[in-house]
Structure 1
Amino acid sequence: MEGLIDSIGGLLNGLFALAAGGFDSVNQVTGLIIALIAALMMGGWRGLGGSALGAVIVDRLIMMLRPMLDGGALVLPDIMTLSFWMTCLALFLGYAIAIAIFFFIKTLLTGRAFRSRRYAH
C-alpha cells in the first residue's frame, strides 16, 4: 500500500512539474496575449479545455511560422516524437492555468462570477 501511495505521489509531482514548466513557457508576451484572447472569447467554465487546446494550436502555429517572418524557411515540427507531445501537454496545462486566471478576473469584472444563467424556453 505504501508503494502505491509513493507511486501516486510521484505521478502527481511529475504532473505539477509539467504544469509549472508549461506555465513558465506561457508566461511570455505571446503566450499571455493568446491566453487573454482565449479567456475573452470563452463563454463559460465548461469551455476551458477547448480554449486551452485552441491556444496550444495557435501557439504551435505561431512558433512554426515565426522563422518565416524573419526570412528563414518553414520548419515543420516533428510530431512523431514524445518530446513534441510532452511540450504540447505542458503548454495545455500552462494555458489552462493562465486562461482560468484571466477568465476568473473577467467574471469578477463583469459581475457574472456567481450568477446563474436563466434560459427562456
Structure 2
Amino acid sequence: MVRLHDGKAENLTVPDKPKRSPDVETVYSDAVTGRFNKRGPHYAPEYYRAMGQALKPIIMEEMVPAFLDSAFADSRGSLQGIVTGEKPARIPLDIRGQLDTLIDYYDMAGVSGYQWKPFGPEAA
C-alpha cells in the first residue's frame, strides 16, 4: 500500500487544452484534400485489369527490375533466381513476402502465371 506524504495529496494542475486553430478545418476540408483521404468511387475489377494492361510496360520494364535491383539487397540474388528460373545456391530462410510483392507486380501487369496455386495429388 502507498502512503501519502504527511497524509495529504497534492493538488495536480492539468493544463488547459490548447485552442484548436481555425486552419484545421480548412486543411482537412474537401477543398484541400479533395476525396484523397475519403472513401471514393470503387470501380469494377475490369477497370483495374484494363489499367494494369495500360501500365504493363512500366510495371514490367521499370518497376520489376527496380524492385529486384534495390529492394531487399540481402536476398536480391534469390529473387533474381526466381525470375530467371535458376535454382539458388542456398535456400533462403524467408522469401515469401518478397516473392508476394513480385507476384503482385506481375499480377498488376496481367501476367497471371506466377500466382500461388495448389499442387499435389488433390490438385490434379
Normalised by the shorter chain, which TM-score bucket? under 0.3
Structure number with higher helix proportion: 1
TM-score normalized with structure 1 length: 0.24
Larger Rg: 2
TM-score normalized with structure 2 length: 0.23
The structure whose RCO (Cα within 8 Å, separation 6+) is larger is 1
